[in-house]
Amino acid sequence: MTMLLGILLAFFSASLWASPAEEREETRIPILDSAEEFFGHRVNHLANDFDSFFATERADDELGRTRLRVRDGYTISERAAANNDVQLRFNLRLPHLEQKFKFNQEAKKKAKHGKKETPEERAKREAEYQKRNRVDERWLFNGDTGVNASIHPSITVRGRIRKSKETGTLIHRFVQEATWISTRDGFRNRTSLSTDHSFDQTHLFRFNNVADWQISKKTFTTGHGPALLHRISDFEAMSYSFTMATVVTGGLWYVTNYQLAPTYRRNLYRELLYLDFTPGLNFPKEWSFRRTPFIFIQLELLFGGGT
């Protein structure tokens, strides 16, 4: 018993005199790094899924395939005339991105047919998951052209540079965009910064900041606000957003509108046909911030590959 007490006392004394710096270096820092890396991969993976499903510009730039999008949107608002907007957009995918989600799709197909992955297949898929969901912090350049087939058709040419940065469990995405529109707006310069954070495997929080300078019209507007993205199933998702719009004119910066808009998006047919439904509320300054309900409905048809 005396020997046992001596061993315990010696062990306890050694623990007390151990260097705190050594303890953090050996046990805490690797665990922290692993956790940050895991959350970073999870956030980026979830953001990639949502941006692909909602067909955002980032998805076209970084994840999309070569395709043609045809969007037919119809807006009904309480204090404005109904508006129909048809857009055509062509996106060219770079060859080295073609296998971006190959392993995930193969795993889903096997699970659907009741097949189990072998340990080798699982290890390969997890290694590929870590590789493709690591945040690419390089500067990326993309461009696209589009046609607005409204009553007054217009051609749009855009060029973008984007960069992503990971800090802990957050991912920040910066985009600088220059646009030329053949009618109405002329030249525009747009800067945006968004931040992503995932709560779990089905919910992503995003905060958006956008500054838009319409050079020809000499107007400067901004938009700010949070959005919560929720994956309901493999075929449907929701986006709940709140946006504050502002304008700078005559040396004054003031709010022009608040908007609350939940969007429901569903894949209607084999990743080729999508439906968007948005019942929302605007609070425009021109109507003394009185509530103005609206409904937006859009059908989107894809040619050349699914999201």
Report, as an integer, the average pLDDT of 66-88.
Answer: 84
As a whole number of angstroms, the distance between CA 190 and CA 161 comes to 11
Burial (CB count within 10 angstroms: exposed 0-12, middle 13-18, buried 19+), residue 62: buried
Report, as an integer, the average pLDDT of 227-231.
Answer: 95
Q: How many CA atoms lie within 13 A of 190 on its CB side?
A: 16
Q: Which of 153-157, 167-171, 244-248 has the highest mean pLDDT?
A: 244-248
Whether residue 81 is contained in a domain is answered as: yes
Q: Residue 270 pLDDT more than 80?
A: yes
Q: Residue 240 pLDDT more than 80?
A: yes
Whether residue 113 is contained in a domain is answered as: no
Query: For position 39, what pLDDT does the model report?
Result: 54
Q: What is the CATH number of the domain that holds 279?
A: 2.40.160.40
CA proximity to 263, closest of 226, 227, 293, 290: 227
Query: For position 7, what pLDDT does the model report?
Result: 42
Query: For position 107, what pLDDT does the model report?
Result: 54
C-alpha 266: how far from chain center:
17
Whether residue 118 is contained in a domain is answered as: no
Q: Which long-range contacts (CB under 8 A, 24 or more apart) does 60-64 make?
A: 60/91, 60/142, 60/144, 61/140, 61/142, 61/160, 61/162, 62/97, 62/136, 62/140, 62/162, 63/97, 63/100, 63/101, 64/91, 64/93, 64/305, 64/307
Report, as an integer, the average pLDDT of 33-42.
Answer: 54
Domain that holds residue 148: 41-94+143-303
Whether residue 271 is contained in a domain is answered as: yes
For the chain, the DSSP string reads -HHHHHHHHHHHHHHHTS-HHHHIIIIIHHHHHHHHHHHHHHHHHHHHHHHHHTT-HHIIIIIPPSEEEEEEEEEEETTEEEEEEEEEEEE---GGGTTTTHHHHHHHHHHHTTPPPPHHHHHHHHHHHHHHTS---S-EEEEEEEEE-SSS-EEEEEEEEEEEEEETTEEEEEEEEEEEETTTTEEEEEEEEEEEEESSSSEEEEEEEEEEEETTTTEEEEEEEEEEEEE-SSSEEEEEEEEEEEEEETTEEEEEEEEEEEEEEEEEETTTEEEEEEEEEEEEGGGTT--EEEEEEEEEEEES---
Q: Tell me which of 100 and 66 has the higher pLDDT.
A: 66
Q: Tell me: the pLDDT tens digits for 86-130? A: 887 776 654 433 344 444 545 555 555 666 667 776 667 666 655
How many domains does the structure of the chain reveal?
A: 1
291 within 8 A of 281, measured Cβ to Cβ: yes
Q: Tell me: the pLDDT tens digits for 243-261? A: 999 999 888 899 999 999 9
Query: For position 223, what pLDDT does the model report?
Result: 96
261 within 8 A of 241, measured Cβ to Cβ: yes
Query: For position 184, what pLDDT does the model report?
Result: 63
Whether residue 109 is contained in a domain is answered as: no
Q: Tell me which of 45 and 195 has the higher pLDDT.
A: 195
| Phi, psi angle pair for 23, to nearest 5° | -65, -45
Whether residue 45 is contained in a domain is answered as: yes
Whether residue 112 is contained in a domain is answered as: no
Least confidently predicted of 172-176, 213-217, 263-267: 213-217
Q: How many CB atoms lie within 10 A of CB 245?
A: 20
230 within 8 A of 203, measured Cβ to Cβ: yes
Query: For position 271, what pLDDT does the model report?
Result: 82
149 within 8 A of 155, measured Cβ to Cβ: no
pLDDT, mean over the chain: 76
Q: Tell me which of 125 and 183 has the higher pLDDT.
A: 183
Whether residue 104 is contained in a domain is answered as: no
Query: For position 140, what pLDDT does the model report?
Result: 81
Q: Residue 304 pLDDT more than 60?
A: yes
Provide CB contacts within 8 A for 238, sequence distance 6+.
229, 230, 232, 262, 263, 264, 265
Query: For position 87, what pLDDT does the model report?
Result: 81
Q: Residue 146 pLDDT more than 90?
A: no
Query: For position 109, what pLDDT does the model report?
Result: 56
Q: Tell me which of 23 and 263 has the higher pLDDT.
A: 263
Q: Residue 263 pLDDT more than 90?
A: yes
292 is written with which tokens?
């103005």
Query: For position 280, what pLDDT does the model report?
Result: 95
